[in-house]
Amino acid sequence: MTEEQSIKLKTFWNCFVEYPLLKEIMNDFDRLRENRLLGGDQQCILLTGDTGCGKSHLIRHYQSRLQSDPISKFDSLPVLVSRIPSKFTLEETVLQLLKDLGQFGTTARGRSRITTDSSLTYSLVELLKVKQVELIIINEFQELIEFKSVEKRQAIANRFKYISEEAGVAIVLVGMPWAEMIAEEPQWSSRLVTRRSIPYFKLSEDPVHFIQFIKGLAKRMPFDTPPMLEEKQISFGLFAASRGEMRALRHLINDAVKDAVLDGEHEFDMQRLRHSYAKLNPQKLNPFDTPFNELKLSEIERYSGYNPKALSSDEALTDRVFSKNIPIKELLKKNA
């Protein structure tokens, strides 16, 4: 791979296609940052969506619009993005926030006998002020609250409430659909002024949305002319391959574009999609080999969930449910 090819592929793989819902969510983030300057109780947002819907991609894009990587520990950091650590405890989460702020050595200090939860929280609040953080975005938040008792969930809500109030910073909690559990806690119910959800694409509800998205991807491909991904055979083949999940759709298109760029092509050959699907899914029927009138599609019917009353952890998490493969006309009739 040449340097030029690498730049082309990185640019496309990291490109962001902005559509109305994502624009609204980013406007929500901007509003929180502006409102914090007015003082008073800080407002917060809960953003949920199932795996592969594009939550993390949206967060990275929003953060990159505002800042580059901090150069030193004295630089301001308008948006702090953190992820729930592998040890799903409140203390480890605070330590992770400190680390993401540039406070190195927090892991070792966190395990010191003299370190308390209160001292870690105090250090975090002070550093948030020094770094002039305007917004905290915590990704995969559901991992912190699942398999926790009501009392522990309340303790988590109280701690984040304290951090938000003392540091004067708004918080965005991002996670799987069952992160909604935190909204049931009294400390959060009034603070979560906005609750958003990023759905999968569904042809039965909004086929135009999906077509607009793949056209946006086509315009950002590193070729002389954008390919016509919106053509019926191709667009429905892409939906059949992804079932409306953005991550699966991007993986397939990214692989096809990579092969074309590495072969030095200046135009995108649609057969690349067929080859990439066969490569990534060798045991499945290839939708790009199937005649249009025989193509069948499946889309999301029920998102994954969490049952806190389950008897075991294996039974607590429920997987996504997709519809049966049905003919295109039958699926689109639902949109009538």
Q: What are 193-250's pLDDT values in tens digits?
A: 889 999 999 999 888 999 999 999 999 999 999 999 999 999 999 999 999 999 999 9
**Tokens read off for 46:** 């809960």
Residue 103 near residue 74 (C-beta atoms within 8 A): no
Q: Give the residue, 71 or 41, on which the prediction is more confident.
A: 41
Q: How far apart are CA 244 and CA 251, in angstroms?
A: 13
Q: How far apart are CA 141 and CA 182, in angstroms?
A: 9
**DSSP element (H, E) containing 211:** helix 207-219
Q: Give the residue, 67 or 98, on which the prediction is more confident.
A: 98
Residue 156: pLDDT band with limits 50, 70, 90:
confident
| CA dihedral over 168, 174, 177, 182, signed as positive or negative | negative
Domains parsed from the chain with CATH numbers: 20-197 (3.40.50.300), 201-297 (no CATH)
Q: How far apart are CA 336 and CA 334, in angstroms?
A: 6
Q: How far apart are CA 122 and CA 166, in angstroms?
A: 9
Residue 6 near residue 156 (C-beta atoms within 8 A): no
Residues 135-162 have a mean pLDDT of 85
pLDDT digits (tens, 9 = 90+) for 265-309: 999 999 999 999 999 999 899 999 999 889 999 999 999 988 877
The CA-atom distances, in angstroms, between 138 and each of 25, 73, 160, 248, 309 are: 15, 20, 11, 24, 25
Query: In the beta sheet, which residues pair with residue 317?
Result: 306
**DSSP element (H, E) containing 217:** helix 207-219
Model pLDDT, residue 190: 73
Q: Would you call 171 helix, strand, or coil by DSSP?
A: strand
Residue 218 near residue 234 (C-beta atoms within 8 A): no
pLDDT digits (tens, 9 = 90+) for 116-132: 667 888 889 998 998 88
With a CB cutoff of 8 Å and minimum separation 6, the contacts of 277 are 241, 252, 284, 286, 287, 288
Residues 129-152 have a mean pLDDT of 86
Model pLDDT, residue 72: 46
Rounded (5°) CA angle 101-103-107: 115
- CA torsion angle for 297, 287, 292, 210 (degrees, to 10)? 60
**Tokens read off for 300:** 């999301």
CA 59 from centre of chain: 7
Q: Is 168 left (phi over 0), alpha (psi -120 to 50) or beta?
A: left
Q: Which of 52-66, 129-143, 148-162 has the lowest mean pLDDT?
A: 148-162
Q: Give the residue, 28 or 191, on which the prediction is more confident.
A: 28
